[in-house]
Amino acid sequence: MKKILSSLAALLSFLYVAGQNDATLTIQQNNTGATISRHIYGHFSEHLGRCIYDGFWVDEKLPVKKKDRIRLDVVEALKKIQIPNLRWPGGCFADEYHWRDGIGPRDQRPKMVNTNWGGVTEDNSFGTHEFLELCSLLGCEPYISGNVGSGTVEEMNKWVEYLNFNGESPMTKMRKQNGREEPWNVHFWGVGNESWGCGGNMTAARYADEYRRYAVFAKNYPGAALKKIACGASSDDYKWTETEMQNIPLNQMWGLSLHYYTVPRNWQKKGSATAFDEQEYFTTMKKCLYMEELVSRHSAIMDHYDPQKRVALAVDEWGIWTDVEPGTNPGFLYQQNSLRDALVAASTLNIFNNHCDRVRLANLAQTVNVLQALILTDKEKMLLTPTYYVFDLFKAHQDAKLLPILLNSPEYSMGDEKIPSVNASASVDSNNVIHVTLVNLDPHRTINVSTQISNLSWKTVDGQVLTAAKYTAVNTFEAPHTVQPAKFNGAKKNGNNLNVSLPPQSVVLLEMKN
C-alpha cells in the first residue's frame, strides 16, 4: 500500500510540475484596427559619452568606411533593423544646446562644455546638418528635442524655420549658405526634455504654460506639419500626466512622453551589467514588467481626457541602466549588454505592441556605446549586442496590424515573489504573414505554449531564437557572436493551432505563412 501511495504521489508531483510548465495563448483577429507603429522601434542618440563622438561621428583618420565623418558600418547595421526614427540631441543635453553653435564652417563653431555628461569640451562639429545627413543615410525620420530649459521661444521658432521653410527668409538664406538648398521637413519635435528635472525643474502646471507658449511659435510650414511632443512624466508621476492633459489643448500636441528606466538595484548603486546572481536577474525582470502598469495607468488618464486617442503616449526614453563598466568615465554611461538586457528589450517591446492604440512612438536609450546600446565600438572594431538582435527579430511587427492575444502563463518564482514566465505579442502584415514574438523569462524551465489561432489561415511556420547558456552572456570584441539568433525548430503545426516548446531565458520569433 505504501508503495502504491508513493507511486501515486510521484505521478501527481510530475503532473503538477508538467502543468506548471504549460502556457496557453489565444491569438484573435483584430477588430479595433490598431496598428503597431514602426515608430515604437525608435532610438535615441544624445551628446553623451561615446554615442555621437567616437560612435556615429569618428575621427577622419579612423580606418573604417565613412561618409564625411559618419561611420558607415554603424549606419548599415541600423538600416538592417529598419530604424524608423532617431531622437537627438538629448536628453538632458538638449536643454543646454543652442543650435546656432552647431551650424556653419566647423572650424568657426564655438566649443562648449557638456556639463551634464562628464564635463568634457565639445567642438560642435556634429550639429544640425550632420545629424540630418545621418538620418538621411539611415533612411529614418529625425526627432529633434528643442531647448526649453535654457533656450528661448525665438530660438526654437527660428530652428523650425531653418529646418522646414522653403520660402524666402533670413533662416532659409542662412541654411542655403551652409550648403542645404531644400528644407528637411522635420516632423517630430520635442518641446523640452525632462522639464520636471534637468530640463528646468518645473512644476507640471508651469511646464504646461511654457509648452503652450512654445507650441504656438513652433510653426507648421507646407509639407512639414509638426508632430509636437510634450514633456511627460517620469515613471509613476501620474499627477504630471493629469496636469498636462488638463492644461494643454489636445490639438496642440501630437504626443505626451514617458520616461522609465529598469534599474536592477537602486539609483545609488545600480548593479553590474555582467556580474549578477539570479535574485538580481529576477528583480530586474520584475522591474522591467512594471512598464505594463505604467503604460496602462498613464493611458487610462489620457483616455479620460482623450477617449479618441488622438494624443500618442511617446515612451521616448526607456531601457536598462546599470553601473558603468569598470575603468570607464562614470559620466559616459558605457555599459555592457547581456542576454538579460535582450530579455528586457523583448518584454518591453511586447508591452508596447499590445498597447499600440496609445503607444505610437518609443526610443531606446541609447544607440551606440551608451546605456542599453545596440552597438559597441572600439576604434575600428564594432560589435552588435544581444539587444540589437531583439530589434532585428521584432522589426517584423513594424506597421503591421496588431493581433490581440489572451495569454495564460506559468509563474517564475523567487522567494515569495512571482512574475509571469512568458510574455508575447502578435501581428499580421500586409502580405497576411503572421508574426508572434514570445519571451520566456524563466532561466530554468522550458515552457510548452499551446497556441490557438482564431479565424486566421496559415500553412507553414518558421522561427528564430535568441538565447545563451547563461543570462550573463555578452558579446565582446574578442568573441562578438556569443549571443545571436539561430534557427528555431520548436514550433509544430497542430491543425490550425500551434504547439511551441519555448526554451529557458529565450526570445523567439515565429513566422506563419500560407
Query: Which tens digit of pLDDT belongs to each residue from 297-330?
Result: 999 999 999 999 999 999 999 999 999 999 999 9
Which pLDDT score is estimated for 131?
Answer: 98
pLDDT band of 486, cuts 50, 70, 90: very high
CA dist., res. 152 & res. 28, Å (int): 50
Residue 18 pLDDT > 50, yes or no?
A: no
Higher pLDDT, 13 or 447: 447
Which pLDDT score is estimated for 496?
Answer: 82
Q: At 401, which helix (H) or strand (E)?
A: strand 401-402
pLDDT tens by residue, 147-158? 999 999 999 999
pLDDT tens by residue, 384-441? 999 999 999 999 999 999 999 999 999 999 999 999 999 999 999 999 999 999 999 9
Residues 131, 105, 73, 275: what is their CA dihedral angle, to the nearest 10 degrees?
Answer: -70
Which pLDDT score is estimated for 31?
Answer: 77
| Long-range interactions of 150-158: CB distance < 8 A, separation 24+ | 150/95, 150/96, 150/98, 151/95, 151/98, 153/213, 153/214, 153/217, 154/217, 155/98, 155/99, 155/100, 156/191, 156/214, 156/217, 156/218, 157/217, 157/218, 157/219
Residue 14 pLDDT > 50, yes or no?
A: no
Residue 165 pLDDT > 70, yes or no?
A: yes
Residue 211 pLDDT > 80, yes or no?
A: yes
Residue 13 pLDDT > 90, yes or no?
A: no
Instruction: From 360, 356, 398, 401, select the one nearest 33 (Cα to Cα).
Output: 401
Q: At 467, which helix (H) or strand (E)?
A: none
How far is CA 396 from each of CA 139, 214, 402, rounded to the nearest angstrom?
17, 37, 12
What values do phi and psi take at 269, rounded to 5? -135, 95
Residue 11 pLDDT > 80, yes or no?
A: no
What fold, for 23-31+403-513? Immunoglobulin-like (2.60.40)
Q: What are the structural domain ranges in the chain?
A: 23-31+403-513, 38-398
Q: Specify the pTM.
A: 0.94
CA dist., res. 331 & res. 370, Å (int): 10
pLDDT band of 456, cuts 50, 70, 90: confident
The count of other CB atoms within 10 Å of the CB of residue 223 is: 10
Q: How many residues does the chain have?
A: 514
pLDDT band of 29, cuts 50, 70, 90: confident
383 within 8 A of 478, measured Cβ to Cβ: no
Superfamily of segment(s) 38-398:
Glycosidases (3.20.20.80)
Residue 10 pLDDT > 90, yes or no?
A: no
How far is CA 275 from each of CA 272, 338, 340, 466, 473, rounded to the nearest angstrom?
5, 10, 11, 20, 10
Q: State percent of the chain over pLDDT 90.
A: 92
pLDDT band of 203, cuts 50, 70, 90: very high
Residue 414 C-alpha cell reads as: 523567487
Active site residues: 194, 317
Which pLDDT score is estimated for 223?
Answer: 93
**38-398: same fold as 23-31+403-513?**
no
Which pLDDT score is estimated for 20?
Answer: 64
Q: Mean pLDDT score of the chain, rounded to an integer?
A: 95
Q: At 7, which helix (H) or strand (E)?
A: helix 2-20
Higher pLDDT, 18 or 134: 134
Residue 244 pLDDT > 80, yes or no?
A: yes
26-40, 263-277, 360-374: lowest mean pLDDT where? 26-40
pLDDT band of 270, cuts 50, 70, 90: very high
What values do phi and psi take at 377, rounded to 5? -130, 150
pLDDT band of 454, cuts 50, 70, 90: confident
Tell me what the mean pLDDT of segment 458-476 comes to. Answer: 97
